[in-house]
Amino acid sequence: MTIDAMGCQQDIARTIPDQQADYGLSLKENQDHLYQNMAELFAHAEQTRSHILNTEYIKTVDKGPGRLDIRDC
């Protein structure tokens, strides 16, 4: 499941794992230190190739009328 910014509200985000669902939430650079902490976590995971955290990387670029969406996952 993926969800937009409205679903990133803490109360909404907490209910998703309670329902045993898998999810992806957006994270923007304006999220205080959370963005930097997550960037460091993923960089560390990529360098150590931990067996606990399997990672894959994909980048998508979508163009629409008056907008450009770039996603790094």
Q: Is the pTM of this model over 0.75?
A: no
Q: What is the pLDDT of residues 25-68, one digit of tens each?
A: 777 788 778 888 988 987 887 787 666 666 678 899 999 888 99
Which of 9-18, 20-29, 49-58 shows the lowest per-residue confidence on average (mean pLDDT)?
A: 49-58
CA 19, CA 32: separation in Å to the nearest integer?
Answer: 28
- Please report the DSSP string for the chain in residue order: -B--GGGGSHHHHHHHHHTT---B----TTSTTHHHHHHHHHHHHHHHT-SSS-----EEEEEETTEEEEEE-
Written as six digits, the tokens of 3 are: 């969800």
Alpha carbons within 13 A on the beta-carbon side of 9: 4
Q: What is the pLDDT of residues 46-55, one digit of tens each?
A: 787 666 666 6
Residue of 66 and 12 predicted with greater confidence: 66
